[in-house]
Amino acid sequence: MHPFQPESWYWLYDVPPFRLSLLFVAVFVGFYWLGSIIVRPILRQFVKYTAGSNDIIGYVLSCFCVFYGLLLGLIAVTAYQNVSEAGANVTREASALSALYEDVSRYPEPHAQNLRWLLRDYTRYVIKYAWPLQQRGIVPQEGAIRAAAFYDRLLEFKPATPPEEILHAETLRQFNTFLEARQMRLYSVNSSLPASMWYVMILGAILNIAICWLFDMRFITQLMLGGILAAYLGIMMHLIFDMNQPFLGDVSITAEPFETLYARMEDA
């Protein structure tokens, strides 16, 4: 399995957010400190005889940090937008489902009762079965069967009066809106950052740390200042990782809109 495929890292989402953040920080700070002991003496050989080497390294690091900081910021915004759009799709589907439920409630009996029951069954399926699958990165498929069953039952109704014709047409339109929102939610299940972005982020973090190893300063100062930088890189990586999957992690979308709707359906 590709190391930067989302499925390779799903087990990390089972770690509590605070502990996972500490894990990211520990990895980055540990890498920096270990490199300060092993790699830094080797890299220092290339600049130790250069006059004003710290000024040159500082200039290069400041230029590099501008580009890398912009990259991390843009990727973080992209990851947040993915989560935000997925959340909007979930809300849109629940809203369309709610409107559809109100429409079929105005049908004559027994059509209204049968159609309401099918919508309650679909909502319960999304909460109890589809959501756990989405949290494992699996696109649920059985919802299409329930939606098709509702559509078949809906077509069995034959309007007998002009008001019923208008209501039926509006219900069919609302059903299409619901199907569109449902499909958008399913597309959001696997919407994550491409592997190329992760390669660039990891490589940029390593280069950032490597440049810091080149500075000529006391070893304790090197560990402290570089450790602060590495810790912040770890926190940023954890933030982006947490937002990488819309239905996983601390920054994730819950089934609350469907749960609220289902409670209202049960009370009706």
Q: Nearest to residue 258, comparing CAs of 150, 138, 123, 58?
A: 123
Q: Give the DSSP letter of residue 108.
A: P
The per-residue pLDDT for 172 is: 93
pLDDT in tens, 167-198: 999 999 999 999 999 999 999 888 888 888 89
pLDDT in tens, 4-23: 555 667 778 878 888 999 99
pLDDT in tens, 77-105: 998 998 999 999 999 999 999 999 999 99
Q: How far apart are CA 121 and CA 125, in angstroms?
A: 6
Residues 27-52, mean pLDDT to the nearest whole number: 89
pLDDT in tens, 141-151: 888 999 999 99
Q: What percent of the chain has pLDDT over 90?
A: 57
pLDDT category at 3 given cuts 50, 70, 90 is low
Residues 45-70, mean pLDDT to the nearest whole number: 87
Report phi then psi at 135, rounded to 5.
-70, -10
In the chain, domain spans: 16-47+214-233, 89-196
